[in-house]
Amino acid sequence: DAMVIQNPRYQVTQFGKPVTLSCSQTLNHNVMYWYQQKSSQAPKLLFHYYDKDFNNEADTPDNFQSRRPNTSFCFLDIRSPGLGDAAMYLCATSRDDGSYYNEQFFGPGTRLTVL
Amino acid sequence: DQQVKQNSPSLSVQEGRISILNCDYTNSMFDYFLWYKKYPAEGPTFLISISSIKDKNEDGRFTVFLNKSAKHLSLHIVPSQPGDSAVYFCAASGNRDDKIIFGKGTRLHILP
């Protein structure tokens, strides 16, 4: 089945220790997104890639970086995690086929704990 | 500054009855609205959407109503089934944007 895969599902890191979350997709979608969702909050878009073009949200902290080495993979790097970065991180993809709106497909998320 | 608001964190409905989930938005530039459903330990999955040129869209047991003048939309599920127990996110997009803005979600409990 075509899908969006996130690894690991649970990640524990120490305060200030860099961490990388990964997302892969078999849908061959050209757009990939990273969202942060804290408990009882709305998923918040951090950035997205339209093909190789990186689009950062204005309020995304510099502590968050992303890489997309190819169509299938996208990484979220948190350079110096703080306690406030503990959250669920959701990866999503969509295919821009010229339709007015393109549905986003989500992975199961990675829950990040910062000790 | 929430642009998409779901004011009910949770809702309990008897099985077989109608579930109505509400959503308000503030940005008049939004012209496409979506509902996503999320089970525990899974990512959100797309449920139903509506364009601002319509006021109703129906798909099986699910109907979304849009009231543009009130900046309000609602999701109706009838009849409600146990498998409908989940968190429902309202979301909106505008100007042919790739981005969507989510609400905080409403947890729906279907009671036996």
Checking DSSP bridges between strand B106-111 and strand B10-14, what pairing results, if any? parallel
pLDDT in tens, B13-30: 999 999 999 999 999 989
Edge-first strand listing for the sheet containing B62-67: B4-5, B19-25, B72-77, B62-67, B56-59
Nearest residue of chain A to residue B8 (CA atoms):
A40
Nearest residue of chain A to residue B97 (CA atoms):
A101
Average pLDDT of every residue of chain B: 94
As a whole number, mean pLDDT of residues A34-40 equals 93
Q: Does B62 touch chain A (CB under 8 A)?
A: no
As a whole number of Å, the end-to-end CA separation of chain A is 36
As a whole number of Å, the end-to-end CA separation of chain B is 37
CA–CA min distance A64, chain B (Å): 18
The number of residues in chain B equals 112
pLDDT in tens, B67-92: 999 999 999 999 999 999 999 999 99
CA–CA min distance A109, chain B (Å): 6
pLDDT in tens, A74-110: 999 999 999 999 999 999 999 887 666 778 999 999 9
Cα–Cα dist A32/A16, whole Å:
26
CA–CA min distance A105, chain B (Å): 7
Question: What element of type H or E holds A112?
Answer: strand A110-114
User: Contact, B108 vs B84, CB < 8 A?
Assistant: yes
Q: Does B10 touch chain A (CB under 8 A)?
A: no
